[in-house]
Amino acid sequence: MVKITSGASFGGAIKYDEGLLGKEQIYETIGYYGIDMDFDTWGRMTPNLQDITDSFEMQAALNPKVSQPVKHFAISWPPEDAERLTNEVMMEAVRQYLNEMGYGNTQYLVTRHLGTDNPHCHVVANVVDNNGKKISDYMERKRNAEVCKKITNEMGFSWGSHKSAKQSEIPTDCRQRTYEAARYEISRDIASAIPEVKNIKELPVVLMAKYGVTTELKLDNNGSPCGISFSKQIKDSTGKTVTCKFGGSKIDRQYSCKNLERIIKIWHNFPQLRKDAKNILDLHAKIKDTHRIPPRVEHQCEQLKKQMSRLWKEEKKLQKNLPANIAKGALAVMLAIGFSTPLTTLVTALTASLVIAYQDNKLSRIQNQKANIAQDIKSIKQTFRPEPERHEENRPSQKLGFKLSL
């Protein structure tokens, strides 16, 4: 069952979802897309309320006509499904639901609330998508019912207490903790290895040589990567060595084969993205006092300046408080992933709008200068216009009144 509401305040919705409005709330952030996210030393998500709110509001500002940019989904399952609903299974269902409802290309934050009989999660999504367009809510209730029915049937969820849930394949509590520790460790190792590779095909070599992670990369008939899995040996609480194996998306949605290729590309393109952002801010500082810049462009420049300032502060914080058990490259990659989407959105928009504003003002200034020069030339011609020449035949003849005698 999914309950849908709309609103105007991202901060209020996120505070509720993250358990900040209820002291008895127990919550866990299990997924996100397109927003700034912090991580602890194990790679677990530790959301910062203000940073996330700023990310949502910045994208919503791309379409100021949308008065209620907040969409909130409360997604719940029957108690019969509690055992099989791991975070991974729940996120798989949530992603399919958001894609079916048209929210696959926008920012969202997924928070699971624990300590209740029925498993459920809350999703805050941005009605303004990554391209600045408003996501349609046409026949939303009808589509919601149809999508819920489809996902329930496809994933084998229960309709009610009269239907028994399928047996879960989750390990025992002791083994579960071992697998979770291995998952976080592999996630950290992958992030640490990304700066050392140029493409995904180089990743297995680096992971095995430096971090002891075995990687299986599947290739299609054309030799292109189409699937990836990771395994690592780790000791459980009894001291026994256990081999833990995960598909890439089971570790984190970012580590599916397709997303890993995208992240590696983001990492290698990030220095150029930062350079482009700096060039735009330098251009804005140069022309802001002499050119007419539209308010929307001014706002985007301020947002870009704010994002770059936050990125710089986060990097300084990492240099001072870098944990001993995690590579600097891993946290740098996380920063690149977190800041890439907002920076790309702003740089793409401002590359066109700010340059056009500069060129329009420059062209107008040149035209005004030409007009002023033409007027000056006209004035000079009028001031120094030569008098008309007099011809000799028009002059009266002068006769001398005496003769010179010798």
At residue 220 the predicted structure's pLDDT band, cuts being 50, 70 and 90, is: confident
What's residue 285's pLDDT?
84
In the chain, % of residues over pLDDT 70: 74
Residue 391 clears pLDDT 70, i.e. is over it: no
Residue with the bigger pLDDT between 177 and 279: it is 279
Mean pLDDT over residues 242-247, rounded?
A: 87
Around 315, how many Cα atoms within 13 Å sit in the side-chain half-sphere?
11
Domain positions in the chain are: 2-170, 174-255, 269-363
Tell me the two tokens of residue 36. Answer: 């700034």
Tens of pLDDT along 103-147? Answer: 999 999 999 887 677 788 999 999 999 989 999 988 888 899 899
Mean pLDDT over residues 37-44, rounded?
A: 64
Across-strand partners of 109? 32, 124
Low-confidence winner among 170-174, 202-206, 312-316, 378-382 (lowest mean pLDDT): 170-174
What's residue 387's pLDDT?
58
What's residue 168's pLDDT?
35
What's residue 339's pLDDT?
78
Residue 395 clears pLDDT 70, i.e. is over it: no
CA distance 302 to 365: 26
In the chain, % of residues over pLDDT 90: 16
At residue 93 the predicted structure's pLDDT band, cuts being 50, 70 and 90, is: very high
What's residue 215's pLDDT?
92
Low-confidence winner among 307-316, 326-335, 363-372 (lowest mean pLDDT): 363-372
Low-confidence winner among 7-16, 21-30, 153-162, 312-321 (lowest mean pLDDT): 21-30
User: Which residues, 6+ apart, have CB-to-CB distance to 44 below 8 Å?
Assistant: 184
What's residue 392's pLDDT?
53
Instruction: Mark residue 173 as left, alpha or beta (left: phi above 0; alpha: psi -120 to 50; beta: remaining).
Output: alpha
Tell me the two tokens of residue 127. Answer: 């009605």
CA distance 23 to 12: 15
Question: 171: buried, middle or exposed (CB in 10 Å: 19+, 13-18, 0-12)?
Answer: middle
CA distance 48 to 37: 7
Tens of pLDDT along 250-304? Answer: 887 778 888 888 888 888 888 888 888 888 888 888 877 777 777 888 888 888 8
What's residue 318's pLDDT?
61
Domain 2-170: give its CATH code. 3.30.930
What's residue 176's pLDDT?
61
Residue 180 clears pLDDT 90, i.e. is over it: no
What's residue 40's pLDDT?
61
At residue 170 the predicted structure's pLDDT band, cuts being 50, 70 and 90, is: very low
Tens of pLDDT along 354-366? Answer: 766 666 555 455 5
What's residue 23's pLDDT?
44
Of 357, 373, 351, which is closest to residue 295 (Cα–Cα)? 357
Residue 166 clears pLDDT 70, i.e. is over it: no
Mean pLDDT over residues 14-29, rounded?
A: 64
Mean pLDDT over residues 68-77, rounded?
A: 92
Of 290, 299, 297, which is closest to residue 353 (Cα–Cα)? 297
What's residue 279's pLDDT?
87
